[in-house]
Chains A and B, each alone.
Chain A
């Protein structure tokens, strides 16, 4: 994965770059006048998955939410902030403003990984972030 896929901060030249342990795909889209990047990455062998949504401007990515699954402690969950988006620091991948839903040691409604290939990996993100139009195509 090159640095240009998920460039968190152009000024600090920091980016989130996964290695080949993950298969990944980047979805870029516009909505309500804003640009977004959605990074999908998964490992079938370790049952790891993340779909990380970020707001994009000319300088930074602001990470808004991340839908994840970890093979070490199964359960689909979301990392996001409860506060206004404007309060989320730009250019940072993780921070104390993020909350985990549900809590890590709490009850998770879905504990089956379910991702089998590229199609099901994309489907998981598309369902959660509602990427599909009514007619079934990506926005």
Chain B
């Protein structure tokens, strides 16, 4: 069995010389289909080696919307890097190990690969990545449908003193403003409900509040019940995008208006 497992792990291991040192390709595959690879850089004048990534791991994580400079994430990532004995250089964008003797390279290489795989999971599982497409797509569709007909502001509170900002606050001439909460979770829908209640009972300005759900299953039945009875509307985006956007348009411009 050991031989079979060794073969599985090692058969696709490939190395080649590059100016930096040795480029290593492993049997592991990243989400895009690329083999996971790393570099053995050196030897330095004292005969020691470093392990490095290609300099795109952290930039790719940050490109997915994960801000590593926020305290919580920064701490979590720093802990992860420390666990694997790896440092990140914000200047070069590379992950690397401290210099080590040649005989330590194989063991440290396994740890380095393990870290790269864990970081890959971080890219795939981040909520921002899941959230991004729906929100971006919905905002774009709504903006396009109302272009020239209404003023649209992002991340604005429906009225002064209301804690939760709407994703979109839309105002058309001679119509009351409409606040759109793009919702993928119970919490976001409940924020819309709180905003609606605050507008209704506390704020002086009138405003409609719509929770645009990503999908039918985005929220629990209980939350849906509460929201349905309190919000202006709660259309569902996925699977009926055009009508969901038209529902927003009707609320903004009036019931007889349809924009193509």
Contact segment of B35-43, B171-179, B183-191, B237-245: B35-43
A47 touches B (CB below 8 Å)? yes
**Cα-based distance from A31 to B236 in the complex (angstroms):** 36
Q: Does B215 contact A (CB under 8 A)?
A: no
Q: Given the complex, which residues of B lie within 8 Å of A72, measured CB to CB?
A: 16, 23-25, 35, 37-39, 54
Number of B residues contacting the other chain (C-beta, 8 Å)? 45
Q: B63 to A93, Cβ gap below 8 A?
A: yes
The reply to whether B92 and A9 contact each other, CB–CB distance below 8 Å, is no
Instruction: Report whether A46 and B54 are in contact in the complex, using a CB–CB cutoff of 8 Å.
Output: yes
The reply to whether B31 and A94 contact each other, CB–CB distance below 8 Å, is yes
Give chain A residues whose Cβ lies under 8 Å from the Cβ of B1: none
Find chain B residues with CB under 8 A from A105 CB.
Answer: 12, 35
Measured between beta carbons, the chain A residues less than 8 angstroms from B94 are: 19, 21
In the assembled complex, A38 has its CB within 8 A of some CB on chain B: no
Q: B59 at interface (Cβ–Cβ under 8 A)?
A: yes
Closest CB of chain A to B222's CB: distance in Å? 30
Q: Which of A10-18, A119-127, A129-137 contacts B (4 or more CB under 8 A)?
A: A10-18
**Whole-angstrom CA separation of A104 from B135 in the bound complex:** 32
A108 at the interface (CB under 8 A from B): no
Known contacts A19-B89, A20-B92; A94/B18 CB under 8 A: no
Q: Give the residues in chain A near B52, CB-CB below 8 Å.
A: 46
Instruction: Report how far A12 CA is from B67 CA in the complex, Å.
Output: 10
Q: Given known contacts A17-B93, A71-B16, A90-B136, what 5 new A-B pairs fall within 8 Å (CB)?
A: A8-B63, A17-B63, A19-B90, A19-B93, A43-B55
Asked, given contacts A43-B55, A94-B60, whether A9 binds B65 with beta carbons under 8 Å apart, the answer is: yes
- Report the separation of the CA atoms of residues A103 and B94 in the bound assembly, to the nearest whole angstrom: 26
A108 to B145 CA separation, bound complex (whole angstroms)? 45
22 of the cross-chain contacts (CB-CB < 8 Å) are A11-B135, A11-B139, A14-B65, A15-B63, A16-B60, A16-B63, A18-B59, A19-B89, A19-B90, A19-B92, A20-B91, A47-B19, A48-B55, A72-B25, A89-B136, A89-B137, A90-B136, A94-B32, A100-B34, A103-B33, A104-B29, A105-B12
